[in-house]
A and B are shown apart, each in its own frame.
Chain A
């Protein structure tokens, strides 16, 4: 297992390096002169020169990249042009909104998708299965931000049960915070669940056709044990694969849902930065989120090794 972990960790580190190169190329190389983008049309040549000096744009590209990467590795993502605050601190201040939102959505997704997928598989080609499949087809087709709008329309405009958006911070209390994130988490999680339901169903169906399941049943093993012990663990590998991809989608999806519900999270930070041409913030947020997704994939790889000994010894 240790060799497997080391190999995956090395690949993850290499991937993170490539991620950083891609971001660097888009932000520093493609536009020609980033200083002119930040200044827009109103900056004087002297001001642009000062900005180039401050951003280290006068060095050669490899030196700029090495410098940027070394700083980023220490958590120094530069200083926001708009707020004049370190980008790292800005990200840290928005994380208490985005992270709980993605986490709540992930919990909702797993709590709905796994039981529903399992239920559909055990009722294969019966009414319950067809119903679950129809519901999940609809769930996949409905974009999460439209689901968010419909939830606002129903629960805040029509019924008046919930507010339509905004977040007062966790200092206002735990429950008010959770309530503010509930509707966006439902919009995000339930609709991502739709994909996972189908993956769970087909993974469980595949395992149920295996000989060892038939043998277990023939031996008279109770159905609950057949499902719980023989089927679930073996069906988990494809389920974990899809769930890992979905988790990355959730992190990305929270960027949209933050806009729908006016939540002060990472996504709105980045969107605001685009309007203000605050390149260091956009660069910092994208690097942070992309790195997070790569790390989620790493965690999924480790989980494979844990779930399936064959992968460990490959």
Chain B
């Protein structure tokens, strides 16, 4: 088989470049931003983009470029934690359903079907009504929305694997459930789960922005791209640039991560070419 060189793969290279830019921006914003993202300057409100403020300033005179940079941290943090919650709970449910079978399987599948009825927005609404809106709620709500996909994938892999010779051999040699699952099943279910995690990450970033926009996620004054768009909406005719840059940051990030995911799948899939 001809080896595919990742960097010659346009989709992968473009995606990797955008994803790298996201990570570098987030890392840089921890040590340096052009201005303090939280520092207000009432005299410099709603300024158009200029040399001093390349992305302009918001309604409190805060530097938008600095806020967009720092917002990358929020996106990455919520994305990583939400995917971890969805993958953790989903893999557990999927293992239980696929390995035990019988009524636990039936029960797990009904729970998974039911959770499918809860897009992140709906769970976030529910949690925000009971607890207070906040970034933790958006992480949990988005994570829950990912559970069904991870659970179904794991269950399908386990069902396929449990009848394979190496699993039966392990059991015949006296390996207990925990050992068979930990040593033999889980490692073999990993590849599809990794792809699922890669494709879930940009979805989580989109969802976080949406929840923050609704006021259910990240709370002011912390910079989040969705929250910045919510604030920008009140000044659309005065300062349209305010609505352009955070949205552009979301779109470029999601585009990059999606391209990266597509590229990875192409490169890893032996049937592709």
Chain B binder among A82-90, A169-177, A269-277: A269-277
Closest 6 CB pairs of A and B: A18-B114, A252-B119, A146-B247, A141-B255, A282-B129, A290-B117
Closest-CB distance, B207 to chain A (whole angstroms): 9
Interface string of A9-29 (1 = CB under 8 A from B): 001001110110011001100
Contact of A271 among B110, B117, B215 (CB under 8 A): B215
Chain A binder among B25-33, B43-51, B187-195, B233-241: B233-241
Instruction: Tell me if B113 and A143 are in contact (CB < 8 A).
Output: no
Instruction: Tell me if A146 and B114 are in contact (CB < 8 A).
Output: no
Q: B209: which A residues are within 8 A, CB to CB?
A: 143, 145-146
Complex A-B: 10 CB contacts under 8 Å? A138-B251, A141-B202, A141-B254, A143-B206, A145-B210, A146-B247, A248-B119, A256-B210, A274-B125, A286-B126
Does A218 interact with chain B (Cβ within 8 Å)?
no
Measured CA separation A23–B214 after assembly (Å):
21
Measured CA separation A158–B118 after assembly (Å):
37
Instruction: Tell me if B115 and A22 are in contact (CB < 8 A).
Output: yes
Give chain B's interface residues, CB within 8 Å of chain A: 110-111, 113-122, 125-131, 133, 202, 206, 209-210, 213-216, 226, 229, 232-233, 236-237, 240, 243, 247, 250-252, 254-255, 258-259
Instruction: Tell me if B121 and A252 are in contact (CB < 8 A).
Output: yes
Instruction: Tell me if B119 and A153 are in contact (CB < 8 A).
Output: no
Instruction: Tell me if B258 and A137 are in contact (CB < 8 A).
Output: yes
Instruction: Tell me if A19 and B125 are in contact (CB < 8 A).
Output: no
Measured CA separation A16–B206 after assembly (Å):
28
Q: A100: which B residues are within 8 A, CB to CB?
A: none
Interface string of A261-297 (1 = CB under 8 A from B): 0000001001101100101001101100111011001
Instruction: Tell me if A26 and B127 are in contact (CB < 8 A).
Output: yes
Most buried by A among B111, B210, B226, B258: B210
Q: A290: which B residues are within 8 A, CB to CB?
A: 114, 117-118, 122
> For the complex, would chain B's binding face be called helix, strand, loop or mixed by DSSP majority?
helix
Contact of A11 among B110, B127, B214, B236 (CB under 8 A): B110
Instruction: Tell me if B214 and A255 are in contact (CB < 8 A).
Output: yes
User: Which residue on B lies nearest to A251, using beta carbons?
Assistant: B119
- Extra inter-chain contacts (6) besides given A142-B251, A249-B119, CB under 8 Å: A26-B127, A27-B130, A142-B247, A149-B247, A248-B117, A293-B117
Instruction: Tell me if A273 and B113 are in contact (CB < 8 A).
Output: no
CB-contacts of A141-160 with B (<8 A): 141-143, 145-146, 149-150, 152-153, 157
Q: B202: which A residues are within 8 A, CB to CB?
A: 141
Contact of A152 among B121, B126, B236, B254 (CB under 8 A): B236
Q: A248: which B residues are within 8 A, CB to CB?
A: 116-117, 119
Measured CA separation A255–B236 after assembly (Å):
21
Q: A19: which B residues are within 8 A, CB to CB?
A: 114, 117-118
User: Which residue on B lies nearest to A245, using beta carbons?
Assistant: B116
Does A64 interact with chain B (Cβ within 8 Å)?
no
Interface string of A228-253 (1 = CB under 8 A from B): 00000000000000000000110011
Does A112 interact with chain B (Cβ within 8 Å)?
no
Contact of B113 among A18, A34, A255 (CB under 8 A): A18
Instruction: Tell me if B121 and A260 are in contact (CB < 8 A).
Output: no
Does A63 interact with chain B (Cβ within 8 Å)?
no
Instruction: Tell me if A31 and B113 are in contact (CB < 8 A).
Output: no
Instruction: Tell me if A146 and B113 are in contact (CB < 8 A).
Output: no
